[in-house]
Amino acid sequence: MKSKIKEELEEKGYIRVRNVLNFQKDIKPVLNDLEAKADKLIEKYFTTKEAKRLFKLKFQDKYFALTKKSGVTFEKVFNNRPPQNFKKHENVEYFNPESIFNLIKSDKILNIVEKIIGKEIFSNPVQTFRVKKPNINSGKNFMDGLIGRTPWHQDEGTINKKARFKTDLVTVWIPFTKTNAKNGCMLAVPKSNKLGLLNHHHGSKGQVEIKNSELIHKYSKMVPLEADVGDIIILDKRLIHCSLPNVSKNIRISMDIRFHKAGQSSGREPLPSFYVRSAKEENIKVKTYQQWVALWNKAYMKSLNKGYTFKYYLPIYNHSKQDYSKKLN
Ligand SMILES: O=C(O)CCC(=O)C(=O)O
Ligand SMILES: [Fe+2]
């Protein structure tokens, strides 16, 4: 029998589950690690005297001080996985502390995911930690999805052909700050998961974007996916969604992680995917933080002389039936 959650997800394309995570146990450890990462950067960019003063500030003020002083936006450094593209042999240090590994294998999250894709579950490598800066109105980060807005897309559009149409992929979006329409929460088109995979294209900044997405604002019903810290938002792989600009004065922090049915393609080979839940205990091979870090390091090291960690082709049909413009009634 289908679970209620699965039924609702299939019907609307998204679902918010309240109070899944505990602030002290699940959220705070990640925020602490984020702050430790900022402190390391402060040591690099500031004098010892300046650093001493900055260490006392809140993460947000550390981040503002860092970006101002360095002119660097740190979108790759604060992401929890190696970047898709980088300069050849550029070894970007990314944000992959144990607290994030703990979230990926959290029973609180997996108990919900299990109701959607069943008891045999892989961690999927399509994951992004996002520290969204306020008021990015133009420039290279304008629509980068990392510190800027995320363009209109379906998550299934961002995986490769091996997984497209085949893999049962589910997105779990986790806020680390209360997130609302003002600070750039996601925006979704309810029931759009029933439209099939749509034609995507490269937007003006190279981003992956649904073709005709300008029509969405004009003609479609849109719902802001607001959430409190502790809540999670689950997305269907075909839900049409984007994120709003952050027009508040504060940063907005979130992480989206994904899971798929064990044994299926992750859609991001050669990045790691592995069992996080199974009825057979011996299937769980990645048990320690060190093992997890080693998997990612290996994938990244292999990519260093290529300058990219993964590639996929956008879903572009050679017919227009899957254009968003054809879906309006
Ligand atoms: O947080 C965002 O800006 C976008 C997140 C997203 O697209 C996702 O989790 O699939
Ligand atoms: Fe997405």
**Average pLDDT over all residues of the chain:** 95
> How many CB atoms within 10 Å of residue 262?
19
Decide: 210 in ligand 1 pocket, CB within 6 A.
Answer: no
pLDDT digits 0-9 by tens, 144-186: 888 889 999 999 999 999 999 999 999 999 999 999 999 999 9
The pLDDT assigned to 329 comes to: 67
Conformational region of residue 184, where left means phi above 0, alpha means psi within -120 to 50, and beta covers everything else: left
The number of domains in the chain is: 1
Q: What is the mean pLDDT of residues 259-278?
A: 97
187 pLDDT above the threshold of 90:
yes
> Among all chains, which residue has been given the structure tokens 């052909």?
161
Q: How far apart are CA 197 and CA 266, in angstroms?
A: 17
68 pLDDT above the threshold of 70:
yes
Determine the distance separating the centroid of ligand 2 and the alpha carbon of 145, expressed in angstroms.
9
Mutation choice for ligand 1 from 186, 225, 238, 258, CB with most ligand atoms inside 8 A: 186
Determine the distance separating the centroid of ligand 1 and the alpha carbon of 151, expressed in angstroms.
9
Determine the distance separating the centroid of ligand 2 and the alpha carbon of 155, expressed in angstroms.
5
Decide: 246 in ligand 1 pocket, CB within 6 A.
Answer: no
- The closest alpha carbon to 149, from 160, 138, 158, belongs to 138
Decide: 256 in ligand 1 pocket, CB within 6 A.
Answer: yes
Determine the distance separating the centroid of ligand 1 and the alpha carbon of 150, expressed in angstroms.
7
CATH at 192: 2.60.120.620
Nearest CA to ligand 1 atom 7: 242
Decide: 243 in ligand 1 pocket, CB within 6 A.
Answer: yes
Decide: 220 in ligand 1 pocket, CB within 6 A.
Answer: no
Kindly give, in sequence order, each residue whose CB lies less than 8 Å from that of residue 67, ignoring residues fewer than 6 positions away: 73, 74, 133
328 pLDDT above the threshold of 90:
no
86 pLDDT above the threshold of 70:
yes
Do residues 197 and 210 lie in contact, with contact meaning Cβ atoms separated by under 8 Å? Answer: no
Domain membership of residue 41 as a residue range: 4-327
Percent of the chain residues topping a pLDDT of 70:
100
Q: Nearest ligand, CA of residue 154? A: 2
The full 3-state SS of the chain, as one line of letters, equals: CCCHHHHHHHHHCEEEECCCCCHHHHHHHHHHHHHHHHHHHHHHHCCHHHHHHHCCCCHHHHHHHHHHHHCCCCCCCCCCCCCCECCCCCCCCCCCCHHHHHHHCCHHHHHHHHHHHCCCEEEEEEEEEEEECCCCCCCCCCCCCCCCCCCCECHHHHCCCCCCCCCCEEEEEEECCCECCCCCCEEECCCHHHHCCCCEEECCCCCEEECCCHHHHHHCCCEEECECECEEEEEECCCCEEECCCCCCCCEEEEEEEEEECCCCCCCCCCCCEEEECCCHHHCCCCCHHHHHHHHHHHHHHHCCCCECCCCCCCCCCCCCCCHHHHCC
Confidence of residue 204 (pLDDT cuts 50, 70, 90): confident
The pLDDT assigned to 277 comes to: 98
pLDDT digits 0-9 by tens, 205-259: 778 999 999 999 998 999 999 999 999 999 999 999 999 999 999 999 999 999 9
Nearest CA to ligand 1 atom 10: 155
Determine the distance separating the centroid of ligand 1 and the alpha carbon of 292, expressed in angstroms.
23
Q: Nearest ligand, CA of residue 233? A: 1
Q: What is the mean pLDDT of residues 76-87?
A: 94
The pLDDT assigned to 101 comes to: 98
pLDDT digits 0-9 by tens, 16-60: 999 999 999 999 999 999 999 999 999 999 999 999 999 999 999
Nearest atom within ligand 1 for CA of residue 155: 10
Nearest atom within ligand 1 for CA of residue 130: 1
Decide: 254 in ligand 1 pocket, CB within 6 A.
Answer: yes
Q: How far apart are CA 169 and CA 259, in angstroms?
A: 6
Decide: 173 in ligand 1 pocket, CB within 6 A.
Answer: yes
The pLDDT assigned to 140 comes to: 84
Decide: 303 in ligand 1 pocket, CB within 6 A.
Answer: no
Q: What is the mean pLDDT of residues 261-281?
A: 97
Q: How far apart are CA 261 and CA 193, in angstroms?
A: 19
